[in-house]
Structure 1
Amino acid sequence: MNLRRLKYFVKIVDIGSLTQAAEVLHIAQPALSQQVATLEGEMDQQLLIRTRRGVTPTEAGKLLYAHARTILRMCDQAQLAVNNVGQSLSGPVSIGLAPGTASSSVTMPLLQTVRAELPDVQIYLHENSGGQLNDKLLNGQLDMAVLYDRAPTAGIISQPLRKESLFVVGTQGNPGPSVDLTQVAQMNLLLPRDYSAVRRRVDEAFSLRRLTAKIAGEIESISTLTAAIASGMGVTVLPESAARLLMGAAGGWMSRITSPTLTLPLSLNLSARLPLSPQAQAVKEILMSRVTRPPLESRELMLVG
């Protein structure tokens, strides 16, 4: 087993096609197939299932893929560390963002700060569901992820950042600065699917109060949700930072849910196996300084108090 074969294998799994992977890697397909066969011989396991639609990894292939991503990432980090000796930090840093996280309100300040303080570092932002982000952390595809995470995940280190209250956002029938959960139960709700941390928290609260939510629709896209709220189709529930952004975009109102007050913990998730590169560690410190700041309204309340 060598690094070149591991790189070939990872690229094949990522693309899902030997033919397309051969084109990307600039290698003849028979030669690439031979590399896979050699790797399977070394592993004494079938790693890929070949079909007319392409290739998919076997269970052994999935396991090797996860380890290969880790190995290749550590080799890249070693190369960067050696190259960066005596020089300013440089290289890529990948950050995952769950839709609706407070990180959406700090993305531009983060990029601006990194550009000013770490001009040779390139930031890659990836938005996906919390479960998908954790998988990418485990596979070495992300350096870190900011998400609302309530459940521990094997192989993941979660650093708590802060808790955010949940708010209702709408454009019709403003209930005022706060709204009781029983009132929310009477509203047409536009919420994400049930694997979302926000949706799970809302469903849990309704269940504990023996209330039934009026789900008018399930929407994942923030742009579509904004348009739906702006049109008056219903209301949604979001953590404070995301609620403030959507309220401004839709030209509506936001009300804190009370009786009971609902909150979600915001976490910075990291792989327990992979150490951060020097540039990723520097970006992490900048990110944490941004995300751990209270939302704007909370800061204003503290100043007034």
Structure 2
Amino acid sequence: MAELNQFYQLVAIADTGTLSKAAEIVHISQPALTRSMQKLEAEWNVTLFDRQKNKITLNKTGELAVQHARRILDDVNTMTDAVQAYERSLRTISIGSCAPGPLLELLPELTERFYGMALNSETTASGRLLPGLEKGTYQVIITDREVTAPDILCRPLCTEELCLTVPPAHPLAGCKEGIYLDDLAGETMLLLNEIGIWEERVISKMPQTHFIRQDQDEAFSALVQASALPAFASNLTLKHSKRWAERTNRLALPILDPEAHITFYCCVHKSHKAYLPGQRMV
């Protein structure tokens, strides 16, 4: 019976066009690769290659074999991913979110309700969330819109509202009733890089605002504390994040644009209904 490694070898030959390069890719010697392909031909009682002096090419039968080999290898990779994802789900709750703020709302509840299980969360592109949930990469996803799909349960999680934080002496500090994004044209602001969907919803609509970006959360926090430059916060960071609560030298000004307000939804597969917020443990 043909072995899986022979399918890898066959595809490598098709992709590289030579035995020598294919042998390098599959980490065996060229003579060993030749013997493996001869064994495969004998097993199937077919000829897969046209052989000439110092040259070997796939014939029509070989090309068909490569097509099937690719599909089999894709299926093996899909199976491996599914099995590994299921194994992780037995001891880890993986959460994908389109923004970091809603994780501040969800993670404490899951930590309390599922003591002993590891929580793994990441902020990622919206388009990856539902496929990730369906594949088992995530057990919980947080989206910016309601998901209606078979076998998916979805409910509102929270609403995040952006605000602008400024020192009391900043020229915008008097706008206590709120400001618009256009009011920030020409301003220089501090910005944390990993903000998920807010990049598309808000930052992309501020071409005349200059942003000094920071990758590390703690470094960003220290920079904001030491700086007089404006920075974004939200009702969720103000509620959950200790670093904002300690920043008494800053005023939080509401942002009035509709883009600055997003209702987020928590979605799970029906088999993981218990992971929805507000569920009772039985």
Deviation at 1:255, TM superposition (A): 1.5
**2:166–2:229 contact (8 Å) kept in structure 1:** yes
Equivalent residue in structure 1 for 2:273, among 278, 281, 289: 281
The one-letter amino acid of 2:140's match is M
Match of 1:247 in 2: 244
Quickly say closer, same or farther: Cα 1:187–1:256, change in 2 above 3 A: same
The one-letter amino acid of 1:199's match is E
Match of 2:254 in 1: 256
Equivalent residue in structure 1 for 2:5, among 26, 37, 41: 37
Match of 2:165 in 1: 169
Structure 2: distance between partners of 1:158 and 1:152? 8
2:138 match: secondary structure: coil
Equivalent residue in structure 2 for 1:225, among 214, 220, 224: 220
**1:170–1:230 contact (8 Å) kept in structure 2:** no
2:202 match: secondary structure: helix
1:168 match: secondary structure: strand
**Identity of aligned pairs, percent?**
12
2:117 match: secondary structure: strand
**1:95–1:124 contact (8 Å) kept in structure 2:** yes
Match of 1:191 in 2: 191
Structure 2: distance between partners of 1:195 and 1:146? 14
The one-letter amino acid of 2:202's match is V
1:164 match: secondary structure: strand
Quickly say closer, same or farther: Cα 1:35–1:188, change in 2 above 3 A: farther
Q: Normalization by structure 2: what TM-score?
A: 0.57
Q: Normalization by structure 1: what TM-score?
A: 0.53
**1:159–1:269 contact (8 Å) kept in structure 2:** yes
1:200 match: secondary structure: helix
Structure 2: distance between partners of 1:170 and 1:50? 62
Which structure would you say has the larger Rg?
A: 2
The one-letter amino acid of 2:139's match is D
For structure 1, which runs of at least 5 residues remain unmatched after alignment? 2-33, 81-90, 116-120, 207-211, 290-305
Matched, 1:143 2:155: no
The one-character-per-residue Cα deviations of 1:114-143 (angstroms, maximum 9, x if unpaired) are 33xxxxx51322223335962654542321
Match of 2:265 in 1: 267
Match of 2:65 in 1: none
Deviation at 1:177, TM superposition (A): 4.8
The one-letter amino acid of 2:210's match is I
Deviation at 1:66, TM superposition (A): 3.7
**2:98–2:126 contact (8 Å) kept in structure 1:** no
Deviation at 1:193, TM superposition (A): 5.0
Quickly say closer, same or farther: Cα 1:129–1:72, change in 2 above 3 A: closer
The one-character-per-residue Cα deviations of 1:210-232 (angstroms, maximum 9, x if unpaired) are xx432232234332322222122
The one-letter amino acid of 1:169's match is T
Match of 1:123 in 2: 118
**1:166–1:262 contact (8 Å) kept in structure 2:** yes
Matched, 1:69 2:81: yes
Structure 2: distance between partners of 1:179 and 1:50? 64
Deviation at 1:150, TM superposition (A): 5.6
**2:98–2:125 contact (8 Å) kept in structure 1:** yes
Quickly say closer, same or farther: Cα 1:249–1:154, change in 2 above 3 A: farther
Structure 1: distance between partners of 2:208 and 2:100? 20
Number of aligned residues: 221
Structure 1: distance between partners of 2:117 and 2:265? 23
| CA RMSD after TM alignment | 4.6
